[in-house]
Chain A
Amino acid sequence: MNETSNIRKVIVASSVGTMIEWYDFYIFGMLAKTISTQFFPEGNATAALLSTLAIFAAGFIVRPFGALVFGRLGDLIGRKYTFLLTLVLMGGSTFLIGLVPSYKAIGLAAPLLVLLLRLVQGLALGGEYGGAATYVAEHSPAARRGYYTSWIQTTATLGLFVALGVIMLVKLNMSDASFNAEWGGWRYPFWISILLVAVSVYIRLKMSESPLFSKLKKEGKTSVNPLKESFRNRTNFKMVLLALFGAVMGQGVIWYTGQFYAQNFLETKCNIEFEQSRTIMLWAIAFATPFFLLFGWLSDKIGRKWIMMIGMFLGIVTYRPIFSTFLNNTNVEAWKAESPVANSELWSATNEKTNPETSVVRASRRVTLENGSSFVEERTDGPLFNGNAPSVYKDKHLSGGVYWKFIGLVFLLIFYVTMVYGPIAAFLVEMFPTKIRYTSMSLPYHIGNGVFGGLVPFIGLLLTTTYPADPLVGLWYPIGVATLCLIIGVIYLNNKIDKEVND
């Protein structure tokens, strides 16, 4: 078998599995609303506590913990079997979430089972990435390490793409009632996972162990205690801290802001309709994904550091103008001033009191403008559409020009993600020696992405509540963390490409 064909198989085996793990992890978050009505009903304090733990603990605590558990295992028994195990755990728990009966059927056992399975998902995700990145890097020639490992870097975004696509496909092919029913369509994405995982396990089983790890094992030089050697060896621990604060912390917030905060912002702050907000993300991801490979390739030529730093810098200086454009271009009052109403269709109106002077009217109508944009206008008091009551605008449908402009802006946000994320696997692999590589690179990666990245919505909400006058105040958290990381990265990091990782 020639070298190119071999590395291609290694990349496919690693990337497909990692993409499936991301898919599995995302569908839970994307279906959180339906899942909460099925398993975590409102008004039950215990169910609410379990729901909180399922959402927060899986990302913040269990992912870094998974990095330690599986990182250690990967440095002790090998990369291949460890990331096979994480794949089976992730796929199995995802499939089982789709089989758990609802709270109505089995009571508190339902949220407890879902929490347990969600924690297994977090644990598995914590172990997967380090294994896949290490496995590919240890097969790669030094001059192409950035390019080959950048395939692994596409998987988080492609996992999101597949998750968005599968959920949209299922949802568009049935009514809302069928989708949200107890055994309805929302379970299909979970069941599909088992097929994907079976294929991926089959591919991975046929692969051999990483040549560098095999050599180390043959020579009896593997680590006896990877955790101790990673974190109690001063020289290595110093590099773990530098990887976290000088690279991964900023990468985590740029990644999260581009892929998740943007989508949430379009849906909840701009109130763009479900289908358009999803397709904006899908197009932007499709256009941006090749840039992971471009920046991985470029990092082999010019080094990893400056590509990542420029990506962070661009995020820092353009986040507020970009998100401000999202808000301004979805301002319905401005739309109405620019384009006359073409059609206005009353959907519903209810009069809750009989006295005409004090009557409370709830009314909604779909308004279509001549430029093709439309929106639902809702009022909850005052006489019907006489201009006295404040309106709430929902389900906004963008006109063609604005729609493509938004795709372009989200593309830019994901383009920054490709800059910081494309070269980072090679960067982390080259920082640590083979015998403790899996452990040493996994922990900072999952703290950076799981904790710093995962906190973007929470800190955003905290800032918005504290300073309600500024709708963009939530962006100061990713901007602040990325700035701190940029300063540390620029001053302390080397722009080296380590030719020799056979250590």
Chain B
Amino acid sequence: MMKEIEFQDKTCQKLYDNYILRIKRQTSTLSKEDRFDIMMEFNSHIYEALQEGENKTKIEKLVEILDKLGNPEDVLKSMVADKKLIQATRTFNPIHVFKAISLNIASGISFVIFGIMYLLLLAFGFLIVQKIFHPDEVGLFFKKGEFFLLGILPDRSHHHYSEVLGNWFIPVMLISAILLYVLLTLLLRLKRKLK
């Protein structure tokens, strides 16, 4: 546990607690250790700064310190996005990957592409579930020998389409999803190295 600073003045305590809470919120997606490290460092900064400036009241000091530090939301943005990316590429955990992509999406077109790949991945998963409940309407459909649709057929009265995967649909989708996922993670890793 981090030792928090205690204030006698209630307003001071509120200001401080609020600032710490904002750091906690901003770093909520990070690993425990990273989060703890950032909190400790900001806490240490506030504590050390409070020891200076003898002619001012505590509240004056605290307001000035927090003002100079800046908004946790702005100051920590790039750090949080960066750390999330490292975590995502290390673990292969889908939640981390998703968060890393959404946090970094503002920083370039490549992350938009990653986002699309990720959506595709989710779509494959969704189709597998749908196939289980509606085996006749979901599949890879061909019309007169040409690719027509991968997904759910909108109108089942049409018989011009033939489903080509049959029982192989779920295994094929599953393997595609896994391949896509591995590719996505490796590309993210590469992207981070190039950065």
Q: Do A and B come from one complex?
A: no
A residues lining the B interface (CB < 8 Å): none
B residues lining the A interface (CB < 8 Å): none
